[in-house]
Chains A and B, each alone.
Chain A
Amino acid sequence: MLRTAILGLPRQCQCGTSFTQFTTRRALTFSAHLPPSPPRRPHVRLQHSPSAAGAGPSQSARARAAGYEAARQKMHSQRNRSLVMYSSAAIVFALGMTYAAVPLYRMFCAATGFAGTPQVGKGKFSADRLVPVDDARRITVHFNADRSEALPWKFSPQQKFVNVLPGETSLAFYRARNNSRQDIIGIATYNVTPDRIAPYFSKVECFCFEEQKLLAGEEVDMPLLFFIDKDFVDDPACRDIDDVVLSYTFFRARRDRNGNLEPDAEEDVVQKSLGFDKFEHAPKK
């Protein structure tokens, strides 16, 4: 009764399993023939087979050896099992990290403006940031305009460049003309080079990322209000920047699966217009 009660105890841990298994068998017999523990790990007790209790010495020695062997194998199998578990966990983790790398990279770009990622956020546009730094060096912002071949528009900047001070909000204009005979919805992306100015280049309002519908034959002027954040003068990496290129690309718009408008162009072309063409982790979504 007591023995079954002891045998029925739950095994607590794997490494203690062999211990409880062996001790319960002999729990109530205090035989003087208990074999000496071999010089191995202290927590491993060896099995003393009950059938050897009444057998001869050679048989008990063989049984002992078999018992040692069985215990060793059991220990090895447990160690192998845990090793397999750990290594498969490491493989799964590494595999998961490779999948997570793409959105994590995007997060990193959005947070730091790496690779010319535009920065959008309310804190950057508080009124005290929009004050010009009068004694700073002027920066020349060049304007560039591209369009996809599928878009029969004429799209060009109205000024080639503007010399601005950091912290000074400036206005610039682009002109777009729909040369076709249908109303076309276009959608624009933009990118700023060099990359290290991207965290400081902020746009208050522009004509990008939202649909712009031009009627057939219509010509419109598209303004954009931007500034270069005044922390730019404190950044040592940006000390030698005098020229910045702001580049817009207009695409034809189409509806994606969710009904949102997106550019009607190949993915790599769109990513190139956003400045991500040189990076391998390009494909989005």
Chain B
Amino acid sequence: MSFGRPPSINVGFKVSPPNRGSFPLDHDGECKEAMMEYMKCLKQNSSTSTPCRVLSKQYLDCRMTKGLMDRDEWKNLGLTNLAGEDPEVKAKVSSRTDSA
């Protein structure tokens, strides 16, 4: 049971896990390159998130591949139909998602 929310009748009386839980720690830095690319993109775009969503999708895909995140469909994460997405990348990434 994870604590954290101020206790209410739901939290105190019923044990329920958080929605998707917590990201496992990336101890070995396996997805660090994807993260650095995303941060670089943010700096270039004055911290606007929309142009960098493709990179965030790649980062999450890296996490899913390396077992640092439960694989899930992109629409459940809100990362479908991204502007500026390379169709090849999209096909590669979505095929991995479908096969899971």
Contacts and interface: CB of A to CB of B under 8 A. Distances in A.
B78 A130 contact: yes
Nearest to A106: B8
Interface of B: 1-12, 18-23, 25-27, 29, 32, 35, 38-39, 42, 46-50, 53, 56, 59-60, 63, 69, 73, 75-79
B42 A162 contact: yes
A168 B53 contact: yes
Interface residues of A, number: 66
Nearest to A104: B9
Closest 7 CB pairs of A and B: A130-B78, A209-B4, A106-B8, A169-B78, A110-B8, A171-B56, A209-B2
A27 interface: no
Contacts of A218: 27
A220 B26 contact: yes
A220 B25 contact: yes
A118 B60 CA distance: 23
Interface stretch (A81-89, A120-128, A147-155): A120-128
Interface stretch (A3-11, A17-25, A221-229, A236-244): A221-229
Nearest to B32: A221
18 contacts: A103-B7, A110-B5, A115-B6, A130-B76, A158-B39, A162-B47, A168-B49, A171-B60, A204-B19, A205-B22, A206-B23, A209-B4, A215-B27, A220-B27, A225-B60, A227-B78, A276-B6, A284-B6
Most chain B CB within 10 A, of A107, A171, A212, is at A171
Interface of A: 103-104, 106-107, 109-111, 115, 117-118, 120-122, 125, 127, 130-132, 138, 158-165, 167-171, 173, 187-190, 203-210, 212-215, 218, 220-225, 227, 260-263, 271, 274, 276, 284-285
Contacts of A207: 22-23, 25
B99 to A, nearest CB: 20
A171 B59 contact: yes
Given A127-B75, A208-B22, 13 more contacts: A103-B7, A103-B9, A120-B18, A125-B76, A130-B75, A132-B50, A163-B46, A170-B56, A173-B38, A220-B26, A223-B23, A225-B60, A225-B77
A204 B20 contact: yes
